[in-house]
Chains A and B, each alone.
Chain A
Amino acid sequence: MSHHYLHFERVSYRYPNGYEALHDVTFHITHGEKTALVGMNGAGKSTLLLHLAGLLLPTSGEAIVGGIRLTPRTLATIRRAVGLVFQNPDNQLFMPTVEEDVAFGPANMQLTPEEIERRVTEALAAVGALHLRRQAPYHLSGGQKRSVAIATVLAMEPSVLLLDEPTSNLDPRARRQTIDLLRGFDHTMLLATHDMEMVLDLCPRTIVLHDGRIAADDATAVIFRDSALLDACGLEAPCSVRSIRKEESIE
Chain B
Amino acid sequence: MHMSDALVSPTVFAVAGAASLTLLGAAIRKMQPANRLSHATDRYDDRIVPTMGAMGAFVFAAQMINFAIPGTGSSGHLIGGILLAAVLGPWAAFVTLCSVLLLQCLLFADGGFMALGCNILNMAALTCLVAYPLVFRPLMRHAASPARIFTASMLASTVGLCLGATAVTLETEWSGITALPFGRFLLFMLPIHLAIGIGEGLATGAVLCVLRHYKPELLADVRCRRPRTRFRPGRALAAIVLAALLIGGSFSWLASSQPDGLEWAIERTSGGNDAAPATDALHRTAATFQETTALLPDYDTSLAGLVGCGIILLAAWGGTQLLRAGRRQP
Q: Does B305 contact A (CB under 8 A)?
A: no
Whether B43 pairs with A94 at a CB distance below 8 angstroms is no
Residues of A within 8 A of B43 (CB): 57, 72
B17-51 to A contact mask, C-beta < 8 Å, 1/0:
00000000000000000000000000100000010
How many residues of chain A get a CB closer than 8 Å to chain B's CBs?
3
Interface secondary structure of B, over-half rule? helix
Query: Nearest Cβ in chain A — how far from B4, in angstroms?
Result: 29
Closest to B53 in A: A94
Cα distance A94–B49 in the bound complex, in angstroms: 11
In chain B, what residue has the closest Cβ to A94?
B50
- With an 8 Å Cβ cutoff, the count of chain B residues facing the other chain is 3
Majority-rule SS of A interface residues: loop
* Residue numbers in B under 8 Å from A57 (CB-CB): 43
Contacts of A72 in B (CB 8 A): 43
Q: Which residues of B contact A94 (CB under 8 A)?
A: 50, 53
Q: Which of A53-112 contact B (CB under 8 A)?
A: 57, 72, 94
Cβ of B52 to closest chain A Cβ, rounded Å: 13
Q: Considering the chains assembled together, what is the distance between the CA atoms of A57 and B43 in angstroms? A: 10
Per-residue contact bits, chain B 121-150, to A (CB 8 Å; 1 contact, 0 not): 000000000000000000000000000000
B39 to chain A, nearest CB (A): 13
Cβ of B53: which chain A residues have Cβ within 8 Å of it? 94
0/1 string, A138-177, CB within 8 A of B gives 1: 0000000000000000000000000000000000000000
Interface string of A39-62 (1 = CB under 8 A from B): 000000000000000000100000
CA distance A145 to B43 in the complex (A): 30
Q: Which residue of A lies closest to B50 (CB)?
A: A94
User: Please, which residues of chain A bring their CB within 8 A of the CB of B50?
Assistant: 94
B211 to chain A: closest CB distance in Å? 17
Nearest chain B residue, comparing its CB with the CB of A75: B43
Bound complex: CA of A120 vs CA of B43, how far in Å? 30
When C-beta atoms are compared, the residue in chain B nearest to A56 turns out to be: B43
Complex CA gap A193/B43 in Å reads: 28
- Which residues of A approach B to under 8 Å, CB–CB? 57, 72, 94
- Can you list 4 contacts pairing A with B, beta carbon distance less than 8 Å? A57-B43, A72-B43, A94-B50, A94-B53
Using a CB–CB distance below 8 Å, which chain B residues touch chain A?
A: 43, 50, 53
**Closest 4 A-B residue pairs measured CB to CB?**
A94-B50, A72-B43, A57-B43, A94-B53
